[in-house]
Amino acid sequence: MRTHTRGAPTVFFISVLWPMLAPHVAAEVDPSGGIPFMGGNYNGHPMLYFSRGDVEELQYAAAGTHREIARRIREAGETMLEHPEDYLPPWSPTEFSARWNEVYGNNLGVLSMFCLLYPHRAGALSFAKDYMERMAVQPSWLVKDAPWDEVPLAHSLVGFATAYDFLYEYLNKDQQERFLQVIGNASRLMYEKSYIRGWGFQYLHNHQPTNCVALLTGSLVYMTQGYLQEAYLWTKQVLSIMEKSMVLLRDVTDGSLYEGVAYGTYTTRSLFQYMFLVQRHFAIGHFDHPWLLKHFAFLYRTILPGFQRSVAIADSNYNWFYGPESQLAFLDRYVLRNGSGNWLADRIHQNRVTEGPGQAGKGQRWCTLHTEFLWYDPGLIPKSPPDFGTSQLHYFEDWGVVTYGSALPANTNSTFLSFKSGKLGGRAIFDIVHRSKYKEWIKGWRNFNAGHEHPDQNTFTFAPNGVPFITEALYGPKYTLLNNALLFGPAFSGSCFKPWAGQVTEACDSKWLKYKMGLAADAQGRVEAAMQRQGMVFIRGEGRSAYSPELKIRNFQRNLLLLHPQILLLVDHIHLDPDSPARSLSAFFHNTELPFQGTKVDGVHGAFLLHGEDRYKMFWMDDTSYSNKGVVGYWNYPRGYPYNGSNYVNVTMPLRYPHTRVAYIFFGPGVDIQSFSVRSDDQRVDIYLATKDHTYTIYLLTAEVTSKPLFAMVLLDSKKIVFEKAAAVVDSSLEEVEEYVSMMEDNLQHVKPVFQQMERHILGGVLNMASFHKTAERLLQFSDRKKTEEVIEKMFAMSKKQSRGKGGKRVNLGEKLSENLPDIFAQIEVNEKKERQRTSKRTYEDSPEEGDADSRAFIDYTDKNKNKKSAFIKGRKFKEVHMVTTAGSEDLPSTASYIRLFLLLNTFTFFLLLAVLLTRFQRGRSLQTQRCFYTILLIDCFILLYLYSSCSHTQC
C-alpha cells in the first residue's frame, strides 16, 4: 500500500502550487484598467493624472513613442504663442462673459501640457501664466446671457484646475494661493448648483459628466492643498451622482449614447476622465463595465466611408464634437488591448477635414490632446478590426439605429446606409421611465433629458460611393420636416405647420425636443427587421406610435431595400383606420450641402443633385402609378443655431383607405434606371426595376398576417434572395440591476479612507506649533468653530506626546495619530445632510418643477462604516476598502519590498525542499522521517500562499 501511495503527497503539493506557477488567466478586462491606486499618498503636484516623478518620462515619450501626438500638442501651443490676440482670454469681465466661452478652458489643458513637455520653450510658461491670470481676475466664468447654465464654468474650471496641477511648481507663491482660491470658489459654486440644476439629477446627459468632472478635478486639487472637509463633500457629491449614472448605463446594452455620436463624444470626453480619476484616486474600477466593452462599436459602426463624417442622428455636427482620438486611445489601452482603437484613431486623424464642412471647431479641436497623449499606449500596434474592408450590417438595439457600410475607404460602391426607429431616449431610458425601474433614484422623465433628440422615427440616410446623398439636417429646430420623415394632413390643434401634423415630439417654439409629458412622453418607433442576404440589405421600421392617435394611423411601415451598392429602394406603407381623418402625406428628404433640382422622366417625377460631374438621382410613384411633382428648396434655420439650414425635396401624395404605398428609388451615377413600376394588393407590393445590366423584381409583404413567412423576396434576374420573418428583430427589456443602491454605496465607501490617509500625511509633516495650528484650522475649516480650538489643542498634545518613540527615536506622527484623531468628516456630513434637507424643502416651495425630485437621490452623506467593520444595505455587505501602496507612499513601499523579498526566498526554499524530497527521500527513509518532512513542506506551502496573497494585495 505504501508503495502505491508514496508519491501522493508530492502530487498534492504540485497541484497546490501549480495554479500559482501556471500562466495566470486574467479576467477579460481588469476592472482597474491597470491604473495604480494612489491611496491618498501624494507628493505634491502634479497628481491628477500622473505624479512628479513621471514628468521626465512623459518628456522622453514626447520625443519618442508619443512624438506624433506631441507634434500636435506643440503645434497647438505654437499657434497660441504666435497669435495671442486670438487665444488669450480678455481681461474685461464684460467681454469674457459676452459669449459662450468654453474655448478658454478647453485650450488651457493642452497649453499646460505643452509647457510641461517643453519647459524650455521661450515664452511658453509666461504665456500660460498670463492666460491663467486673465481667467483668475474674472468675477465669474458664466455666460451673461445664460447664467443658469454651468457648462461654460465647468469647461473653465476643469482647464484651470488641470493647468494648476500641471504647472504648480512653475507658479510663484502668490499665484499658487490666488489660483487655488479661484478653483475653490468655482468648485464651491458648482457644488451648490449640483443640488438644484438638472445636471445633478438628469442622468446620462452630456452636461452631467462635463460638470461633475470639473467639480471632481477642483476637489482633488483642493484636497491636495489640505482643504479636506470641503473637498470631501464635493467629492462625495460627484460620486453620488456619477455612480448612479454608471449603474443606469448598465441597461444600455449596445454601447451607444442616446444623444448621438457628436454629443456622445462630448459625454465620453468627461466620462472617460471620470473613470480614470476615480480609479487612480479612489480605487473605483469601471473598466469591466458592460457598456464600455461595447462602446467601440458606437464609434466604429457609425463612420461614413472616408473616415471624415459620422451618422448625424440627433443634434450634431458633421462628425464629432470632441476627439474621438482621445476616447479611442482610452478604449484601446484600458479595455480593448488589441490595437483597434489606435488604428481607428490613426485613420480618423489621417483623413481629418482641415477646411470646410466637417472641420473641428476652434473651441474643441485641441481640447482632448493632453488626455490622448496620457492614455496612448504605443505598445498596442494599430490593427484594423477583423471585418474591416467589408460592408457590415450593425443594429444598435438600445439606440434603435441600424447602420451598414461603416468605416470603409471612400471608393466606388463603398456605400453607407443608416436607419433610425427607436424609443425616445433609447430603450434603456424609455423602459426605466415607463416601467418605473430604479425607484430609489428615478421619478419619471424628470431624471432624464432628451432635448437634443429629433422627431426622427423611421428616418434614414444614404451615401452611395461614400457621397452624402440623403443626409440628416444636423443641429437645427426640432421639426419633423427637417428630418427624412413623413407628415400627415390635415392636422389637428397643436401642429407646428398646419395643415400638416408631424411627430408628437416636435417643438414649435423651443430649441429642445418635447419629451416630458403628454403624448410626447410615450413616443417611440421600432425596428422590426434588419438583415443582410447575398449582398442585399433589408430594413423595416414601424413608426405609428410617434404620431398623434387622432390621425388614426394603424401602421406606418417604412421598408428599405439596398439592391445594389448604388440602388436603394424605399417603400412607405400606410394603413389607415376606417375613420382616419388623414388624407395626404408629405415626405421630406434632405442634403445639408448640395441643392436638389427637379426632373421628370416618362411621366415619373424626381430630383437630382450634382456632386462634381456625377448625378445622384431619385424618383417616386405610389401603388397607382401616380407621381406628383416635388418641391425643392432650402430651409433657413433661425438665429441661434450653428448651421444656416438644409436643402430639401418635398413630395406630397394622396392617402387612400385602407392602404397607400409610395415607392422611392435612389441611385448613384454608376447605374441608370431604365424602367420603374409599382403595383399592389392587400397583402403585398410588387416593384419592378430594370437597369442596363439587371432586372429586379421585388415582392414586399406588408400585411400584418401574411400568406408566407417572409418580409420580402427579390428576384435578381433569375436569382432569388429571401428575407424571412424568422430573422425578425425581437424586442427585449432588461431587469433592473440587482442591489443597485448597494452597488453605488459600495463605491462611495472608497472616499473617506483616502481623505483620512491625506489627513494623516498632512499632520505627519507638521513641524511646529504655529504650522500645526494653521494646518489644523485648514483641516477643521467647516467643523464647529466653538470646538475647533479645543480639538486643535488636543491634537497637538497628542502629537507632542507621540512625536518621539522609545529611546528618543523619531516616529511617523501621522501613523501614530491615526487611531486617535477625531473624525473631522463625520460632523460635517451630518450638518450637510440637515442643510440639504432644509434647502431641498425650500427649493420645492420656490420651484415645484425643480423640487419634485426625490431628495434622497442627492444626499449621500451617511457614513455606513462608522465604528463598524462592515455594514449592510438590503442584505448586501459593503466591500472593504484597502489602502494599497503607490509610488507616492513613504512607508508602504518598504512593506511591499519586504514581502517581495520573503516571497522570493520562500519560493527558493520551497523548491529546494521539494527537490530534496523527490531525489533523496523517495527511498530508504523511515515513514516517520518522511511524514516530518512532508509536514515541514506543508507549512512552507501555506507560508508561500500567504506571501503570494499579501504581494497581490500590495501590488508588490
| Contacts of range 944-947, beta carbons closer than 8 Å, 24 or more positions apart | 944/17, 944/20, 944/903, 944/906, 944/907, 944/910, 945/16, 945/20, 947/899, 947/902, 947/903, 947/906
Report CA-CA distances (Å) from 89 to 54, 96, 128, 130: 30, 7, 11, 9
Residues contacting residue 70 through CB under 8 Å, at least 6 positions apart: 61, 62, 63, 117, 373
Residues contacting residue 4 through CB under 8 Å, at least 6 positions apart: none
What's the CA angle centered on 667, arms 666 and 672, to 5 degrees?
A: 130
How far apart are the C-alpha atoms of 267 and 151, rounded to whole Å? 12
User: What is the C-alpha end-to-end distance of the chain, expressed in Å?
Assistant: 45
**SS3 assignment, position 571:** strand
State yes or no: is 207 an active-site residue: yes
Q: Would you say 257 and 267 are in contact if contact means Cβ atoms under 8 Å apart?
A: yes
**SS3 assignment, position 702:** coil
Element (H, E) at 617: strand 614-622
How far apart are the C-alpha atoms of 272 and 257, rounded to whole Å? 14
How far apart are the C-alpha atoms of 339 and 765, rounded to whole Å? 45
Element (H, E) at 575: strand 567-576
| Contacts of range 272-275, beta carbons closer than 8 Å, 24 or more positions apart | 272/326, 272/327, 272/330, 272/371, 272/375, 273/213, 273/217, 273/371, 274/209, 274/212, 274/213, 274/216, 274/242, 275/33, 275/334
Pick from 335, 291, 293, 327: which is nearest to 310 by CA? 327
Q: Which cell is 308 given?
A: 471624415
**SS3 assignment, position 724:** strand
Sheet with strand 393-396: strands edge to edge? 393-396, 401-404, 416-420, 459-463
Cα 545 from chain centroid (whole Å): 29
Q: Which cell is 384 given?
A: 484594423
Q: Would you say 317 and 473 are in contact if contact means Cβ atoms under 8 Å apart?
A: no
Which DSSP state fits 821?
S
Q: Would you say 515 and 533 are in contact if contact means Cβ atoms under 8 Å apart?
A: no
Query: Catalytic one among 45, 66, 155, 207?
Result: 207
Supply φ then ψ for residue 691, to 5 degrees: -115, 180
Pick from 308, 513, 500: which is nearest to 425 by CA? 513
CA dihedral 445, 451, 455, 459 (to 10 degrees): -110
State yes or no: is 155 an active-site residue: no
Query: Catalytic one among 87, 263, 404, 648?
Result: 263
Pick from 611, 566, 573: which is nearest to 413 by CA? 566
Query: Catalytic one among 87, 195, 266, 475?
Result: 475
Pick from 176, 173, 127, 179: which is nearest to 157 by CA? 179
Catalytic positions, please? Answer: 207, 263, 475
